[in-house]
Structure 1
Amino acid sequence: MASIQRRENGSWRARYRDGDGREHARHFPRKMDAQAWLDEVTTAVRTGRYVDPAHDRETLAGYYAEFVARQVWTAGTRAAAGTAVASCSFASVPFGKLRRSHVEAWVKGMSEALAPSTVRTRYNYVKIIVRAAVADRRLAEDVTRGVRLPATRKREHAMVVPTPGEVRRVLEAADEHYAPLFALCAFAGLRLGEAAGVQLGDVDFLRRTLHVSRQVQRASAGTVEVRAPKYGSERDVYLPEPLVHLLASHVEAGVIGAEGWLFRGPNGNPPDRAAVGYWWRKATTAAGAEFRLHDLRHFYASGLIAAGCDVVTVQRALGHSNASITLGTYSHLWPTAEDTTRRAAAGLMGQVFGAPADSVRTDGVARAAD
């Protein structure tokens, strides 16, 4: 219910009741202003976009503390989101005063000090929180919508795919305990956390398969958190025979721990990102190589694509939740229509002539002479 009444002092009092029956009122010097405000509010109530004015005093930082407690995030995701909010220059601005310009100023400031990919990551976390506040009817609109971000390099230019020689040098230089872990990333496409979480029972040495069913993430200094793999990433990976032999030799050297972890870290736990990163840096430094451990996953994917594997096969091998992720990451590695057409045409020529060009030309001359 809404109404407008003129007060004794000549001002106009507009009032309404929200969905919970609470009354709200504002005063205006002109009746037309009161009516405009009332129309806006009542429309918001009818369309489900209404926000209680009491929430105007809330802030992003305050809402995030409530929001994050409801999420089923991993420790790593929670830490990344917390970093994004802590860096947010408008985290303490009341929702009632929050504008898109605040977001633009924040992005601009980050762009002057951080890499474009880091800016994008932090922005995306804050965007998730802002959208949640809108969905909870705490914030009237998504102030992050339409904000331009710094340009990032195209995947085909930013992606590093190490050469076979570089991979060989790193594996040869790696510590004997961690070389098989690195090999799982290079020849089975496992993520770091997935490789660190492999147990003896996950490997079927007869069928040459590995069941990926967990990942390891750092919880705090010296402790790890063992979780299910990323959504859609539980899978069976088909191992090449040399990798099976490498893992068998590693097992014969002694599997650490009662749970059969193939790789050990601090305190007998499976290694976390920090521990693996230390041994990775030692190996790459000794080998004179400059690429990331995650680039071994790109190396594996590129090998599958070069061997003619289709997108669904690559998706399942890498544990992507859907094929669009695989295409979005590796589409530039698949042969183009031009490449396929040239190979097909070359194959047709080979079937027709079946001999080098000189022989074809000689045969043609001979037939003409006849």
Structure 2
Amino acid sequence: MGTVRKRGKMWYAYWTDAQGKRRCKSVSPLKRDAEAFLLRVEGEIRGGIVGGYKAVPFSQAAEEYCEQVAIRRKPATYANVERIMRLRLVPWFGDKPVGAVTRKDCDAYAFDRVTNGSSAPGTVRNEIGTLIAFMDFAVRWGYAVDNPARGMEKPKRRSNAMAVLDAQQLRKLIEGAEGRYAPIFATAGLTGLRAGEISGLMEKDIDFANHVVHVRRNVFQGKITTVKTENSIRDVDMPAHLEEMLRAWLASPLRPQSRESLVFPNIYGGILNMSTVREHALYKTLDALDLPHIRFHDLRHTYASLLIAQGEPLTYVRDMLGHASVRTTADVYGHLLYETRRSAAAKLDGQVFGSGDGAR
């Protein structure tokens, strides 16, 4: 039981909180106000409420949050969130009540991950985004009064961390690849599709009449599912050489029959594991051709970089890649715009002053 006592002109409330710690608060010059305050606090403690929030351990709330994500979001999103909560956030925050997490705690986590971890800035940015979304959930469920993670400073992306091939190197890769892998590399490098989107392509998605590839599906953990985001549903322009390669591949006896009419099935006609393509085809081909060692996803970056290099608007690049906004495209590829800007300035100089190509 708590008590109220008068000290000087003020009445104070004394009580023991849910963690067994003795508390004291100056309330009012009126005894009845202090008694009312004490009754409210004791009622909150009995109901598991502390300081306006229900005292739920971070680890327990994390489990509940992952359950909600599993229901509401795509399997790939759930897998990413569950991994971050289990491997990163729960070990750091432990059983501390969610409502007791402060901005200082959040900043300390980010600082530790950036300074002591070996993860790339993009990975830490993803973890911070997950923390923000989790704390929003905690506020809605009454586990916290506010979200201390909102407005956290995220580490900047490394502009030099992107590996891409130039036009000649991409052609060398496509022409030097083993027969069944050449159209896969060509599709990745000439459309910018993600690995899972390529695995999920069906014959009906290759629209030769309109010269586009319809992106409607994705493959995650060996299963065909919907695409990553709503913006990922798109039609990507198909270059003429890629059309020729895909026409030949669809009619090729080397292409296994597939019940789902997959464009690139595995040798048994099922869903192709792109990790196998990466490990057993891409890396070996790059080494054999003496090309830079890139990831499969870097073929998507290669596609974007080539579009930017030839002066395509960022809005077009955004649409082809399926980004939600131009800002996302600019954040990822903005460092590639430097040479394009110089070229544009030189052309303008030549138009106005007739000084050749305006080079300097």
Shorter-chain-normalised TM-score: which range? 0.7 to 0.9
Show the counterpart of 1:135: 140
Q: 1:61 aligns with which of 56, 59, 82?
A: 59
Q: Tell me how far 1:250 sits from its aligned partner.
A: 1.0
Once residues 68 and 130 of structure 2 are traced to their aligned partners in structure 1, the CA distance between those partners, rounded to angstroms, is: 15
Show the counterpart of 1:207: 210
Is residue 238 of structure 2 the alignment partner of residue 239 of structure 1?
yes
Q: Tell me how far 1:298 sits from its aligned partner.
A: 2.2
Q: Tell me how far 1:66 sits from its aligned partner.
A: 1.8
Q: Root-mean-square deviation (CA), in Å? A: 3.7
Contact 2:167–2:306 (8 Å) recurs in 1: no
Show the counterpart of 1:282: 284
Once residues 260 and 147 of structure 1 are traced to their aligned partners in structure 2, the CA distance between those partners, rounded to angstroms, is: 46
Show the counterpart of 1:158: 161
Q: Tell me how far 1:247 sits from its aligned partner.
A: 0.7
Q: Tell me how far 1:167 sits from its aligned partner.
A: 1.9
Q: How many residues align?
A: 324
Secondary structure (helix, strand or coil) at the match of 2:219 reads: strand
Once residues 36 and 171 of structure 1 are traced to their aligned partners in structure 2, the CA distance between those partners, rounded to angstroms, is: 78
Once residues 62 and 25 of structure 2 are traced to their aligned partners in structure 1, the CA distance between those partners, rounded to angstroms, is: 38
Contact 1:11–1:27 (8 Å) recurs in 2: no
Contact 2:11–2:28 (8 Å) recurs in 1: no
Change (3 A) 1:301 1:97: closer
Once residues 241 and 258 of structure 1 are traced to their aligned partners in structure 2, the CA distance between those partners, rounded to angstroms, is: 28
Query: What residue identity is the alignment partner of 1:280?
Result: L
Once residues 141 and 122 of structure 1 are traced to their aligned partners in structure 2, the CA distance between those partners, rounded to angstroms, is: 19
Show the counterpart of 1:250: 249
Query: What residue identity is the alignment partner of 2:74?
Result: T
Q: Tell me how far 1:225 sits from its aligned partner.
A: 3.5
Contact 2:4–2:35 (8 Å) recurs in 1: no
Once residues 276 and 205 of structure 1 are traced to their aligned partners in structure 2, the CA distance between those partners, rounded to angstroms, is: 26
Q: Tell me how far 1:286 sits from its aligned partner.
A: 2.8
Contact 1:199–1:260 (8 Å) recurs in 2: yes
Change (3 A) 1:309 1:148: closer
Residues 267-291 of structure 1: CA deviation (Å, up to 9, x unaligned): 6322234233323233333333211
Secondary structure (helix, strand or coil) at the match of 2:68 reads: coil
Residues 93-151 of structure 1: CA deviation (Å, up to 9, x unaligned): 12254333433343343331222422222222122111221233211232324545555
Is residue 312 of structure 2 the alignment partner of residue 309 of structure 1?
yes
**Aligned ranges 1:215-364 → 2 under 5 Å:** 215-218=218-221, 223-253=222-252, 254-265=255-266, 268-278=269-279, 279-288=281-290, 289-334=292-337, 339-350=343-354
Q: Tell me how far 1:317 sits from its aligned partner.
A: 1.7
Residues 221-272 of structure 1: CA deviation (Å, up to 9, x unaligned): xx32422342212122221111111111111123531221011237632223
Change (3 A) 1:93 1:184: same
What's the TM-score, normalizing by structure 1?
0.74
Once residues 37 and 329 of structure 1 are traced to their aligned partners in structure 2, the CA distance between those partners, rounded to angstroms, is: 58
Once residues 113 and 61 of structure 1 are traced to their aligned partners in structure 2, the CA distance between those partners, rounded to angstroms, is: 22
Secondary structure (helix, strand or coil) at the match of 1:158 reads: coil
Contact 1:116–1:151 (8 Å) recurs in 2: no
Query: What residue identity is the alignment partner of 1:228?
Result: V
Once residues 165 and 27 of structure 1 are traced to their aligned partners in structure 2, the CA distance between those partners, rounded to angstroms, is: 71
Is residue 171 of structure 2 the alignment partner of residue 168 of structure 1?
yes
Once residues 205 and 25 of structure 2 are traced to their aligned partners in structure 1, the CA distance between those partners, rounded to angstroms, is: 75
Percent same amino acid at aligned positions? 25
Once residues 152 and 231 of structure 1 are traced to their aligned partners in structure 2, the CA distance between those partners, rounded to angstroms, is: 24
Contact 1:56–1:97 (8 Å) recurs in 2: no
Secondary structure (helix, strand or coil) at the match of 1:210 reads: strand
Change (3 A) 1:267 1:78: farther
**Aligned ranges 1:5-20 → 2 under 5 Å:** 6=4
Query: What residue identity is the alignment partner of 1:129?
Result: F
Once residues 271 and 94 of structure 1 are traced to their aligned partners in structure 2, the CA distance between those partners, rounded to angstroms, is: 44
**Aligned ranges 1:45-60 → 2 under 5 Å:** 52-53=49-50, 55-60=53-58
- My pick for the range that moved more, 85-94 or 341-350, is 341-350
Once residues 168 and 247 of structure 1 are traced to their aligned partners in structure 2, the CA distance between those partners, rounded to angstroms, is: 16
Contact 2:308–2:340 (8 Å) recurs in 1: no
Larger radius of gyration: 1
Residues 174-207 of structure 1: CA deviation (Å, up to 9, x unaligned): 3422221111111112111111111111112233
Change (3 A) 1:237 1:255: farther
Change (3 A) 1:251 1:57: same
Contact 1:302–1:333 (8 Å) recurs in 2: yes
Change (3 A) 1:133 1:217: same
Query: What residue identity is the alignment partner of 1:58?
Result: V
Secondary structure (helix, strand or coil) at the match of 1:236 reads: strand
Where does structure 2 lack aligned partners over 5 or more consecutive residues? 16-21, 41-47
Q: 2:95 aligns with which of 87, 92, 97?
A: 92
Contact 1:90–1:103 (8 Å) recurs in 2: no
Once residues 61 and 38 of structure 1 are traced to their aligned partners in structure 2, the CA distance between those partners, rounded to angstroms, is: 33
Contact 1:60–1:130 (8 Å) recurs in 2: no
What's the TM-score, normalizing by structure 2?
0.76
Show the counterpart of 2:106: 103
